[in-house]
Amino acid sequence: MLRNNVVTVDLGKIRQNYLLQKSLLPRKTEIMPVVKADAYGHGMVPVATALHSMGAKHFAVALAEEGVELREGGISGEILVLGPAMEEAAEECVRHDLTQTVFTPEMVEILEKEAEKQGRDALIHIKLDTGMSRLGFDAENENTVLMVEKLAQSGSLHITGIFTHFAVADEDTPVSRDFTRLQFERFMRVCNRLQADGVNVGLRHCCNSAGTLLHPAYHLDMCRLGLSQYGLDPDPCMKALLDVRPAMSLYTVVSMVKEIPAGATVSYGRQYTAPTPRRIATVAIGYADGYPRSLSNRAEMLLHGKRAPVIGRVCMDQLMLDVTDIPEARMGDIAVVAGSEGGESVTFDDMARWAGTINYEIICGISKRVPRVITE
């Protein structure tokens, strides 16, 4: 390897995951793959291209610049920008036919001015806040319906959808199910009122990956699939419900193997002391590559199909493994950071559990200096 570390992404598994989830949806329900944050670290343009070839007609990104990158990568169809549109972002959205999420009067004004300036429509989705308390017009505020009705009459804005975001769709408990139902009811009250008033709001969508699986009654016109598209589960309770396959693996290389005596300490802060003579391997991955420092003295990797614990603190560019029980370990060996080997596996879910976080954060945190190798 030219680089010490590498991520492999299997587009075949992403395609399989797409088809599996599509089979669970009503024929009328569209899928919007969420490819923001470089497709959760998997490579935005290759992933979108693969799914576009499978029939996906809608994509979601966080930033206008991500949408522009998709357009320049040859992706047609709707590209929904989930984040805010300031002046420069609005200019790019209108120019590249990106669909901008709208959730404040100020954004409406910015987009209207830009659309008039360029002499073309600005495409928008309306975002409703039904309980997430993050972004969106308040679904409980009577003025929200009036605002959307006013937008529908704009000569420069074209509404192509309306949506909300569930806060606890991934929690399969009675309290969380009740709250998700409340969010859906708030959303539908606004949609039904607008429909009764003759307003065409386009595609209605609520469900993320978890909502798609656990709340089939809320699928509506479209579902936004993010984490599950990449073969990971939003919550462990869903593993038995959907057999998606992880598309990403992460590897590093052994740069040195040495023996240390009992009592020797390892890495910064001397947080590991060898209880007996140990054999340790230094591997060339660290927190600058996106391997969390919180995995110090907690995680494991695979070497020759055997589990090797991380010992001592994770450094910026490297860390140490205890390979005392892996006598065949040598400089230049490939270590599996996340993936399978010899019947053993270390998953991104494992890493998240050890780090006290969620699998989303682990995969999105793998840095750009780790090259992605895309396979079909």
Please state whether beta strands 222-225 and 58-61 pair in parallel, antiparallel, or not at all (unpaired): unpaired
| Local structure of 294: helix, strand or coil | helix
List 57, 117, 268, 368, catalytic entry: 268
Task: Go through 26-57 and write b for each residue having 16 or more CB atoms within 10 A of its CB, e for each that does not.
Answer: eeebbbbbbbbbbbbbbbbbbbbbbbbeeebe
Q: Which helix (H) or strand (E) holds 265?
A: strand 265-266
Instruction: Return the DSSP state at 200.
Output: -
Round to whole Å and give the CA distance between 82 and 80.
6
Round to whole Å and give the CA distance between 250 and 292.
14
Which among 225, 230, 234, 229 is positioned nearest to 247, based on CA atoms?
A: 230
Asked if residues 159 and 200 have their Cβ atoms less than 8 Å apart, the reply is yes
CA atoms 45, 50, 53, 55: torsion sign? negative
Task: Go through 196-216 and write b for each residue having 16 or more CB atoms within 10 A of its CB, e for each that does not.
Answer: eeebebbbbbbbbbbbbbbbe
| Local structure of 32: helix, strand or coil | strand
CA atoms 111, 112, 117, 123: torsion sign? positive
**36 a catalytic residue:** yes
The size of the chain, in residues, is: 376
**268 a catalytic residue:** yes
List 36, 218, 251, 360, catalytic entry: 36
Catalytic residues: 36, 268
